[in-house]
Structure 1
Amino acid sequence: MISIILQIVFWVSVAVMFHSYVLYPFLLWILMRITKKTVFEEYTSNDELPFISILIAAHNEETVIAKKIESINNTSYPLNKIEIIIGSDCSTDSTNSIVKSFEANQSNLKLVEFYERQGKIGVVNKLVDIARGEIIISTDANVFFEVETIFELVKRMKDSSIGLVDSRMVNTGLNQSGISIQESTYITHEVLVKYREGMLWGTMIGPFGGCFAIHKELFVKPPENFLVDDFYINMKVLEQGKKCLNSLEARVYEDVSNELSEEFRRKVRIAQGNFQNLKTFRKMLWPPTKPLAFAFMSHKVIRWIGPLFIIFAIISVLFLQSILFYRIVALAIGVIILIPFVDFLLKKLRVNLVLLRFVTHFFSMNIALLVGLIKYLKGVNSNVWQPTQRNQ
């Protein structure tokens, strides 16, 4: 009887993880090919375009802030329809002076200085209060636009059913010596999953926090101790009955982290925020037959608690060693667990094998989720964050 229970635990754990990482993305791919493409009302370049507010929370961004402002100024979107509000979160470098040099010659740019750390959420919440645009674009200082990015974000918001449009992140600065290739591959896959969720059901889940557009009237301020504000904002839009999409044409560029330790630290923080959001929006998992609940569970919740399923699978296998099949499975698991250690030793020898690094990246991501869960259970007191080293 115990053996049967352990086998059920193993196969359920494997099936759940397989569903989230393989079956669900494949299902979206199939559905995109057999269902009629949704057509949304869009702005054209000949239309009277809406006035928008671009909000940037910046803390010590002297290396990128000028390039960021220039990438906005080079847009095809009419500059007289744009206001740029930069909230400097107690910056101690030359961020403020750089922004002021632009502000002196640019009437649509405003610097708001904060003399005590607010955290990104605290800054954005305060900037929203003074924003005049009917559409808000929230974006990070180290995320750069193409000429058409702003227009591509805004154009589908002419459709009254759409509340939020996410951008398509393109990674730069890829390097075989670290985990940037693996992280970029994962992000590219995630973008396609989100795009298909949006086109099929209007339930794009988890926008890229570095750049997304939202109708100001739908913006609900995240609690200031929340760590993943973009997810909270996204779910609040869905909660109000509006659709969320990803625009593959709204491309933005960001350096992807190459250092495993830096990315691990970031993912631990994100994991803490994920569980804050899971507690807040748990009611949206019911009824499970609704597209939003199905997408939320399949795309996000299973992955967030994935480390627990991995642990359950490993423990069940260890107690099933009287069965040959599970002895073979245990051996295979042992070999896979050794791969990150082999990868670490090879890296010390300056040997970088991309396929091994993918396994290391997967393990790191799931350990970060587990650490994030433990930290969440201990309590989250602050959202102030020192960003990972990018665009340096």
Structure 2
Amino acid sequence: MVWDGFFQWLASLTLWDFILIFWLFILIDLTRSLGKPLFLIIHDLYCSRKCRKTTLIFKPKVSIIIPAHNEEKSIVKSIESAINADYPNKEIIVVDDGSKDKTAFLASLYESNGAIKLVRRDYSSGSKAGALNYGILFASGDVLVTVDADTLVEPDGISKLVNELVDPDVSAVSGNVRILCGDSGKRNLLVRLQEYEYFLAFELGRRFSSIIGTMMIISGAFGAFRTQEMKALGQYDKDTITEDFDLTLKLRKLRKKLIYNNKAISWTFAPDTLRSWRTQRIRWTKGEAETLWKHRNVFKIKGFDFTSVVSTYDMLFSDVILLVLRFAWLGSLFFIFSTNIIYVLIFSFIMYLIIESVGTGLAAFLSRDKGNLKYLIYVPIMVVVYRPYYAVVRLIAYFNWLSKKKTNW
């Protein structure tokens, strides 16, 4: 058996072997954490002199689709932010997917004065993808903009998204999603840690992947697509729970150009209890596994571009393989060299504190907002508590996927 051989190999490792593996992990994380901001700094210096943006003269009609299922706490704010968007040629379609609360009633108040179009389903489709597809049936715009029911868009956010489509080669644009507050209006420590997490993920990760052409997710919370291309793709598939990731991979298979605009800003509500956060992250991770497995044929597709192959392998390696290897390494170290593990853990945390702090400082510099330096105070708890616990949650999610445990939206 493969696993028997793997565990026999682990048992044969010496302490020096474990130290070598540890430094390999450090090298990988150092490259990923600091390489991105350094690249972006160089890119920004170059673009400040060379890059020029064009603006749409013709404003194509935009259909803003807001799928909602039991979102009475946030639906009003989401609708009003879409209404107040400065983009002139737009329609707003709210899809009530069998809500049991006051979502439909609150949305209907805006339908009565013609501000939105409300479409209702008596029974939930069981997925956000189903709700989005239903909304697309009523869309008449040349561009589709999807906005989550717990997300608020900045007044110029939609204009900035759509403006990227002036390039005929661009098929989809991801917006910048930031944390507004917790689901219940709180801004507790958990919410602030997610705010910091989103800041790094979008300011570094999404910007970097957009520039080098390896972006894997057009955010479902705030993203824009060409309507004809979306319909040609068959819209959203309902066989995964991360429909935005699935759709992005479908676009990548067709070698479409996908970009990110960090100036197209939206604000979302974050889980403010550990239980709701854990549920959300298990859903995301399980959906990632579902989608990667569904699209496992990407490596066999003739003509599949190099950047797509690299980005898919990178996600598989960093999110799945490295996670399993870290747990295997740590578990083996504990059982084989238990007397030394405390020193290894202390040294690990010190190294990652340094890497995280430098990366956060560079990200704040890139954002040109000194206020983002505030995230440095969260580095210790992010490194010592948040990320290790998230790793455990992700491992649980992968087991849920393997056991075929069902998850709805």
Q: TM-score, normalised by structure 1?
A: 0.81
Residue 295 (structure 1) aligns with: 311
Judged with a 3 Å threshold, the aligned counterparts in structure 2 of structure 1 residues 241 and 288 are, in CA distance, closer, same or farther, namely: closer
3-state SS, counterpart of residue 206 of structure 1: coil
**1:46-125 correspondence to structure 2 within 5 Å:** 47-78=57-88, 81-106=89-114, 109-118=116-125, 119-125=127-133
Residue 371 (structure 1) aligns with: 396
CA distance in 2, matches of 1:104, 1:293: 49
Judged with a 3 Å threshold, the aligned counterparts in structure 2 of structure 1 residues 77 and 197 are, in CA distance, closer, same or farther, namely: same
Contact map agreement 2:175 2:260 (CA 8 A) in 1: yes
Residue 328 (structure 2) aligns with: 312
Residue of structure 1 aligned with 2:209, choices 197, 212, 235? 197
Residue 384 (structure 1) aligns with: 408
Judged with a 3 Å threshold, the aligned counterparts in structure 2 of structure 1 residues 116 and 303 are, in CA distance, closer, same or farther, namely: same
CA distance in 1, matches of 2:109, 2:304: 53
Alpha-carbon RMSD: 3.1
Residue 278 (structure 2) aligns with: 264
Contact map agreement 2:171 2:257 (CA 8 A) in 1: yes
What is the Cα deviation at residue 129 of structure 1? 2.8
Contact map agreement 1:172 1:255 (CA 8 A) in 2: yes
CA deviation string 1:56-107 (max 9, x = no partner): 11112222222222111111110xx211111101112222122222112116
3-state SS, counterpart of residue 130 of structure 1: coil
Residue of structure 1 aligned with 2:198, choices 170, 187, 190? 187
Unaligned runs of 5+ in 2: 1-8, 350-376
What is the Cα deviation at residue 31 of structure 1? 2.9
Judged with a 3 Å threshold, the aligned counterparts in structure 2 of structure 1 residues 370 and 289 are, in CA distance, closer, same or farther, namely: same
Contact map agreement 1:167 1:246 (CA 8 A) in 2: yes
Residue 342 (structure 1) aligns with: none
Judged with a 3 Å threshold, the aligned counterparts in structure 2 of structure 1 residues 6 and 378 are, in CA distance, closer, same or farther, namely: farther
Judged with a 3 Å threshold, the aligned counterparts in structure 2 of structure 1 residues 17 and 122 are, in CA distance, closer, same or farther, namely: farther
Residue 341 (structure 1) aligns with: none
Judged with a 3 Å threshold, the aligned counterparts in structure 2 of structure 1 residues 10 and 266 are, in CA distance, closer, same or farther, namely: farther
Judged with a 3 Å threshold, the aligned counterparts in structure 2 of structure 1 residues 300 and 163 are, in CA distance, closer, same or farther, namely: farther
Residue 353 (structure 2) aligns with: none
CA distance in 1, matches of 2:263, 2:306: 28
CA distance in 1, matches of 2:241, 2:15: 36
Judged with a 3 Å threshold, the aligned counterparts in structure 2 of structure 1 residues 122 and 176 are, in CA distance, closer, same or farther, namely: closer
Contact map agreement 1:178 1:259 (CA 8 A) in 2: no
**1:157-176 correspondence to structure 2 within 5 Å:** 157-173=165-181
Amino acid at match of 2:206: K
Judged with a 3 Å threshold, the aligned counterparts in structure 2 of structure 1 residues 239 and 12 are, in CA distance, closer, same or farther, namely: farther
CA distance in 1, matches of 2:299, 2:404: 23
3-state SS, counterpart of residue 141 of structure 1: coil
Contact map agreement 2:181 2:187 (CA 8 A) in 1: no
Residue 133 (structure 1) aligns with: 141
Amino acid at match of 1:149: G
Residue of structure 2 aligned with 1:233, choices 247, 250, 263? 247
What is the Cα deviation at residue 30 of structure 1? 3.0
Residues 25-34 or 135-144, more deviating? 25-34
CA distance in 2, matches of 1:148, 1:376: 39
Contact map agreement 2:218 2:248 (CA 8 A) in 1: yes
Contact map agreement 1:9 1:316 (CA 8 A) in 2: no
What is the Cα deviation at residue 137 of structure 1? 0.8
Aligned length: 358
Judged with a 3 Å threshold, the aligned counterparts in structure 2 of structure 1 residues 243 and 8 are, in CA distance, closer, same or farther, namely: farther
3-state SS, counterpart of residue 179 of structure 2: strand
Amino acid at match of 1:15: L
What is the Cα deviation at residue 224 of structure 1? 1.3
Residue 362 (structure 2) aligns with: none
Contact map agreement 1:169 1:254 (CA 8 A) in 2: yes
**1:12-27 correspondence to structure 2 within 5 Å:** 12=21, 15-16=24-25, 19=28, 21-27=29-35
Contact map agreement 1:40 1:156 (CA 8 A) in 2: no
3-state SS, counterpart of residue 204 of structure 1: coil
Bigger helix fraction: 2
Residue of structure 2 aligned with 1:144, choices 131, 134, 152? 152
Amino acid at match of 1:187: Y
Residue 279 (structure 1) aligns with: 293
Over the matched positions of the two proteins, sequence identity in percent amounts to 19
CA distance in 2, matches of 1:133, 1:300: 36
Q: TM-score, normalised by structure 2?
A: 0.78
What is the Cα deviation at residue 24 of structure 1? 2.0
Amino acid at match of 1:54: I
What is the Cα deviation at residue 311 of structure 1? 1.4
